[in-house]
Amino acid sequence: MANLMVGIDVSLRSHSVQFMNDSGDALASFSIPTI
């Protein structure tokens, strides 16, 4: 079974999210605006 790592960077104007696999390869990333 593979592991999935999720990183979240919280800031005043937006939040950044990144998904990575066991090898450290980025699978997906996106930003969510803060309301």
Chain centroid to CA 30: how far? Answer: 7
Q: What is the pLDDT of residues 1-35, one digit of tens each?
A: 789 999 999 999 999 999 999 999 999 999 999 98
Tell me the CA end-to-end span of the chain in Å, nearest whole number: 37
Q: Give pLDDT, residue 30.
A: 98
Q: Give pLDDT, residue 2.
A: 84
Q: Give pLDDT, residue 1.
A: 78
Q: Give pLDDT, residue 18.
A: 98
Q: Give pLDDT, residue 35.
A: 83
Query: Do residues 5 and 20 touch, judged by C-beta distance below 8 A?
Result: yes
Query: Do residues 32 and 14 touch, judged by C-beta distance below 8 A?
Result: yes
